[in-house]
Amino acid sequence: MTFVLIFLVVVVVCALTLFGMYNKLVGLRNIVKNSWSQIDVQLKRRFDLIPNLVETAKGYMKHESETFIKVTEARAAAMSAINKGDVKEIGAAAANLDSALAKMMLTFENYPELKANQNFLALQEELTSTENKVAFARQAYNDAVMGYNNAVEMFPTNIIAGMFSFKQSDFFEIEDKEEKQAPKVTF
Amino acid sequence: MWELIRINKRKSLFVLILMFILMVSFSGAIGAGFYTYYGGINIDWVPGMLWGTLIGILLWAVQAAVAYFAGDDIVLHFNMAVVVTPESYPQLYNIVEEMKIAAGLAVMPEIYIVQSEGLNAFATGIRPEKTAICVTRGLVENLTRDELQGVIAHEMSHILNRDVLFMTFAGVMLGTITMLSNVMLRGTVFANSNSRRSRKKGGFSGGHPLVILIILLFAIVAPILARIFYFTISKKREYLADASAARLTRYPIGLASALEKIAKHSSVDFVSKITAPMFIVNPRFTGGDEDSLFAASTHPPIYKRIAILTQLQHSGKVSLENYQKLYEKELETSGLFSKTTLESDKSEAARAESTEKITEFTESRKDVADVILANTGFKILTCECGLKIKLPPSDLRMKVICPRCRKELSVSGESAAMSGNGGNELVFMRKNKNSWESFPCQCGKFTFQLSPLFRGTYAVCKRCGTKVKIEYPE
C-alpha cells in the first residue's frame, strides 16, 4: 500500500515538473513570436512613413532624384521580403533600407529651407523614432531568442524540447557593415 | 533576461527581511513593555509581545495596502503631474514607446509631466498593468534626444525590475519603524514622569526597568538601522537600473551626460521624503559630501555612476557583464548580477550617437569663458571623453585623473616655469630677483618659494628631492 502511494506521489511530481517545463518552453516561444510581430509592426510603419517624407522633401530637393529612387527601391525590396517572411532575408533587406535612408537623411542637411519646414520636422522625428523602434524591437527579439534558445539547449528543458520538437529560433542580425558603423554626422 | 534580473534580488530581499524582523521585534518589545508597565513586573509579558507584534504588522499592512492601491495616484497628485499625449510632446512620447519596445513591456506606461524647471524624472507603478513615468518640464527642454532616452530607459528599468513595489514596501516599513520610535521616545519620557507621580500616591509599580531599557535602545537604534537597510537597497537598485538602461539603449554615454546635466539642477521643490528614492537623481540633495552615509543617501554618488557609464561606452561592448566589471572596479565591492543572469545576457555593440542637430548657444558661451580662464593662468585639458578639465594656477599636479571617464591625463606645460638645459638639470629663470617668486615642482606636491633675498644656485624639492638650478637675469 505504502509502496503504491510513494509510487503515485513520485509519478505526480514528475508529471507536474514536466508540465512546468513544457509550459515554460511554450511561454518563451510565445515571447519570441510577440517580439517578432513587434519588428513587423515597426518595419511596416516605416514603409508607410517613407513615401510621405519623400513627397515633402522632393519639393525642396530637385537634384537628388537618385537618392529618392534608391530609397524607394530599397523599400519595395524590404516589403516583398517581409511578405515572404524569411528572417534572414528580411534582415538583409532591412539593412539595405537602413543605409539608403541614412544617406537620404544626410542629404537633407544641405537644405536649410527643408529643415525649417514644420511638417518635415515632425516627419523626421517620426522616422528617427521608428528607426529606433525597429532597432529596439530587434534587440528585444534577440533577447527573447537568446532566452528561448538557451532553454531549448540546456538540461533539463532540452529533453522536453526534443520530445515536442521545439526548434531553435534564428537571431535577427544585421550583416551590413554600414549599420554597425553608423555614419557620424557633424554639423 | 529581464525576468532573471527581477529575480536577481536575493540580497535585497534578505535586507528587506532583516528590516521586517527589526520592525516586528521592535513592536513586540513595545507590546511587552506596555504589559509590564501596566501589569507589574511579575506579569507574563509574552501575550503583550504578541499583541505588539500584531499591531506593528497591522500598521505596516494598512499603510502598504494604501500605497499599493492608491500610491501612484497620491504621488502624481502631490507632484501636480499632467498627462502627456502623442500630440502634446511627440518626441517624449516616442522615446517612451521606444524604451517600452526595447524592454518588451506588455503595457505602455502613462507619461506625466511636472511643471518644474528642475531636471528630474521618476517612475511609479506598483502593479505591472498600471505604471507611469513622470518627468519635469525642465528635463524635456534641456536634454538632447539621446540623453532623454537614457533617463527614460533608467526609469523604465525601475518599472521592469519591480523596484517601485520593492521600495514602497521598504519605505513603508521605514516609516512604521520611525513612527513607533517617535511615539516611544516621547512615551517613555511621559511614562517616567507619570510613574513618579503615581508612586508618590503609593499605587502603581512602574515598568520593568530592563524592558524599558530595551525599548529605549530599540527606539534609538531601530530607525537608524532601518534607514541604513533602506538606503543599502535603494543604492543598489540605482546601479541595477543604470546597468539595465545602458543595456536597453546601447548608448551609456547618453545617460551619463544626462546625469551630468541633471546633477546641476536636480532639485524639485515639492518632493517629499517618501517619493525621493523614485527619482533618477536625489531631488532633495542640497550639496555637501556625496560619499557620506547620510548626505544623499537614497542615491549613490552621481560621479561614480557617470564614471561607470562612460567607461562602459568606451569599452565598446555594452553588456551587463561589462557593467558589473566596472562597478566592481569603481566601488570595490562584489557583483550586482548572478551568474545565470550574466550567462543569458547578449552583449551588444554600443550604438552611435543619434544624428540630431543640437543648437548650442551655451557651447559657444563656454568657449569664451575658457579663453578668459586660460588668460588668467588656468590650464585647460581636454579629455578624450570630451570633458574639459580646468585647473586653477594653484593646482600643481602633473597628472590628473578625468573625473568622468577615469583616464589619466598628463598636464602639459606644467613645468613651463622650469626648463631643461640639455642635460638632466632643471633650470628656473628668475624674472625679478627682488620679489617673491614661486613655481611648482614636477612632482606636483611641492612649491618652490624664492624670497627676494635668495641668491643660491640650487633649490631642492622637499618632497621628491629634485634639484633645480636657479638662474638670475643680468
Task: Tell me the per-residue pLDDT of B211-251, one tens digit each, with 9 for 90 and over.
Answer: 777 778 888 888 888 888 888 888 888 888 888 898 888 88
A147-156, B92-101, B276-285: least confidently modelled range = B276-285
Q: In this complex, do B355 and A183 lie within 8 Å of one another by their Cβ atoms?
A: yes
The dihedral of CA B260, B84, B242, A134: what is its sign? negative
Q: Which residues of B are catalytically annotated? A: 155
The C-alpha of A7 sits at a distance from chain B's nearest C-alpha, in angstroms, of 34
A146-150, A168-172, B103-107, B158-162: least confidently modelled range = A168-172
- Residue B384 confidence (pLDDT): 72
Instruction: Decide if pLDDT at B358 tops 70.
Output: no
- Residue A183 confidence (pLDDT): 44
Instruction: Decide if pLDDT at A6 tops 50.
Output: yes
For B444, B453, B474, the CA distances from B471, given in Å and listed in that order, are 21, 14, 9
Q: Do residues B150 and B351 touch, judged by C-beta distance below 8 A?
A: no
Grid cell 543604492 — which residue? B235
Contacts of B41 (CB under 8 A, 6+ apart): B205, B207, B208
Interface test with B, best of A45, A126, A143 (most B CBs within 10 A): A143
- Residue B360 confidence (pLDDT): 47
What's the average model confidence in pLDDT over A49-58? 80
Residue B68 domain flag: yes
Query: Where are chain A's structural domains?
Result: 23-171
Residues B402 and B426 in one domain: no
Residues B462 and B369 in one domain: no
Instruction: Decide if pLDDT at B111 tops 80.
Output: yes
pLDDT band, residue A11 (cuts 50/70/90): very high
| Distance (Å, whole) CA B173 – CA B175 | 5
C-alpha cell of residue B449? 618659494
Strands B399-401 and B388-391 turn out to be: unpaired
Contacts of B13 (CB under 8 A, 6+ apart): none
Residues B464 and B390 in one domain: no
pLDDT band, residue A7 (cuts 50/70/90): very high
Residues B86 and B219 in one domain: yes
- Residue B270 confidence (pLDDT): 46
- Residue B207 confidence (pLDDT): 57
Grid cell 501575550 — which residue? B47
| Distance (Å, whole) CA B199 – CA B165 | 49
Top CATH class, A23-171 = mainly alpha
Q: In this complex, do A129 and B94 lie within 8 Å of one another by their Cβ atoms?
A: yes
Q: In this complex, do B355 and A185 lie within 8 Å of one another by their Cβ atoms?
A: yes
The dihedral of CA B64, B65, B67, B72: what is its sign? positive
Residues B28 and B155 in one domain: yes
State chain B's mean pLDDT as an integer.
75
Instruction: Decide if pLDDT at A64 tops 70.
Output: yes
Q: In this complex, do B102 and A136 lie within 8 Å of one another by their Cβ atoms?
A: yes
- Residue B464 confidence (pLDDT): 80
Instruction: Using CB atoms, pick whichever of A125, A137, A181 lies closest to residue B91.
Output: A125
**Boundary (domain end) residue, out of B397, B412, B427:** B412
| Distance (Å, whole) CA A184 – CA B323 | 25
B21-35, B343-357, B360-374, B385-399: least confidently modelled range = B343-357
Domain around B422: 416-471
Residue B219 domain flag: yes
Residues B393 and B465 in one domain: no
- Residue B152 confidence (pLDDT): 94
Instruction: Decide if pLDDT at A58 tops 70.
Output: yes
Q: CB of B346 within 8 Å of any CB in chain A?
A: yes
Residues of A with CB under 8 A from a CB of B: 31, 34-35, 38, 42, 105, 115, 122, 125-126, 128-129, 132-133, 135-137, 139-140, 142-144, 146-147, 150, 180-185, 187
Q: In this complex, do B145 and A128 lie within 8 Å of one another by their Cβ atoms?
A: yes
pLDDT band, residue B349 (cuts 50/70/90): low
What's the average model confidence in pLDDT over B428-433? 78
Q: In this complex, do A128 and B101 lie within 8 Å of one another by their Cβ atoms?
A: no
What's the average model confidence in pLDDT over B341-357? 63
Residues B209 and B276 in one domain: yes
Q: ipTM value of the model? A: 0.74
- Residue A83 confidence (pLDDT): 80
| B449 compared with A5, residue with greater pLDDT | A5
| Distance (Å, whole) CA B250 – CA B348 | 7
- Residue B95 confidence (pLDDT): 92
Instruction: Decide if pLDDT at B276 tops 60.
Output: no
- Residue B124 confidence (pLDDT): 82
Q: CB of B248 within 8 Å of any CB in chain A?
A: yes
Residues B373 and B438 in one domain: no
- Residue A152 confidence (pLDDT): 84
Residues B273 and B382 in one domain: no
Residue B83 domain flag: yes
Instruction: Decide if pLDDT at B118 tops 60.
Output: yes
What's the average model confidence in pLDDT over B33-59? 79
CB pairs under 8 A between A and B: 71
Residues B207 and B221 in one domain: yes
Q: In whole angstroms, what separates CA A174 from the centre of its chain?
A: 10
Q: Is the peptide bond before A156 cis (omega within 30 degrees of 0)?
A: yes
For B119-165, write each residue's pLDDT tens digit.
888 888 777 778 889 898 888 888 888 899 999 999 998 888 888 88
- Residue B359 confidence (pLDDT): 44
- Residue B281 confidence (pLDDT): 63
Residues B384 and B457 in one domain: no
Residues B277 and B389 in one domain: no
| B423 compared with A115, residue with greater pLDDT | A115
For B51-95, write each residue's pLDDT tens digit.
888 988 898 888 888 878 877 777 777 677 888 888 888 889 999
Per the DSSP assignment, residues forming a β-bridge with B449 are B438
Percent residues over pLDDT 90 in chain B: 4
Residue B315 domain flag: no
Residue B23 domain flag: yes
Q: How many structural domains are present in chain B?
A: 3
Q: Which residues of A touch B320 (CB under 8 A)?
A: none
Interface test with A, best of B101, B149, B357 (most A CBs within 10 A): B101
